[in-house]
């Protein structure tokens, strides 16, 4: 799978992404805004484990954000279960040196469209921690709406933080196409 984003694109992960994955994921400014299951520090073994998982997904739900020469981030969806089976969580990260260039917004917008066009989900949601204003702007620019503040729901780096939930519905995505 390959979706163009101007000078960048969303594509399938490749085993050759290991070095750039370690290079860019091993950054506390990146990991501080992600769940603790995203390793920090990010080692070669973490990249190998992730790439083994991502390269063998069926259906493919996790993707690289890349330039023509290397991986610069990741984006993916996690389907929910039971009564939430028509909802999917979306998450993303981008190498710090590529922040502020509109890449995350473009990737989020395109994967949102891809998800609604290729799967039967009705709602896509994303969660972020208080203080991550850049990601909040990315979600807003991509058409997501804030639907909840979960007060002090996250424990990250020895602090309780509010967690914000943003979402977009299939019908809203069709309007902004």
What is the model's pTM?
A: 0.95
Q: How far apart are alpha carbons 74 and 15 in whole angstroms?
A: 14
**Residues composing the chain:** 177
Please tell me the predicted confidence (pLDDT) of residue 75. 99
| Architecture label for domain 2-176 | 3-Layer(aba) Sandwich (3.40)
Query: What does the pLDDT read at residue 176?
Result: 52
Residue 177 in this model has a pLDDT that exceeds 80: no
pLDDT in tens, 64-111: 999 999 999 999 999 999 999 999 999 999 999 999 999 999 999 999
Phi-psi sector, 100: left (phi>0), alpha (psi -120 to 50), beta: left
Q: For residue 174, is pLDDT > 80?
A: no
H or E, element range at 126: strand 123-129
Mean pLDDT of 119-148: 97
Question: Residue 173 — very low, low, confident or very high, per pLDDT cuts 50/70/90?
Answer: confident
- Residues of the chain above pLDDT 70, percent: 98
Please give the full DSSP string across 54-113, using - where no structure is assigned: HTT-SS--EEEEE-SSSEEEEEEEEE--GGGTTEEEEEEEE-GGGTTSSHHHHHHHHHHH
């Amino acid at each position: 799978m390959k979706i163009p984003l101007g000078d960048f694109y969303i594509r399938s992960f490749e085993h050759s992404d290991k070095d750039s994955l370690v290079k860019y994921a091993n950054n506390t400014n990146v990991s501080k805004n992600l769940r603790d299951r995203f390793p920090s520090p990010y080692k070669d073994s973490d990249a190998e484990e992730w790439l083994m998982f991502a390269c063998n997904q069926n259906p493919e739900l996790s993707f690289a954000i890349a330039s023509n020469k290397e991986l610069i981030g990741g984006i993916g969806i996690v389907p929910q279960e039971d009564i939430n089976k028509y909802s999917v969580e979306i998450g993303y990260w981008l190498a710090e040196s590529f922040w502020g260039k509109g890449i995350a917004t473009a990737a989020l917008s395109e994967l949102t469209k891809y998800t609604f066009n290729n799967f039967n989900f009705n709602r896509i949601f994303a969660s972020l921690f208080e203080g991550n204003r850049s990601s909040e702007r990315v979600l807003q620019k991509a058409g997501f709406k804030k639907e909840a503040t979960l007060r002090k729901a996250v424990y990250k780096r020895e602090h309780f933080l509010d967690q914000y939930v943003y979402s977009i519905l299939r019908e809203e995505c069709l309007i902004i196409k």
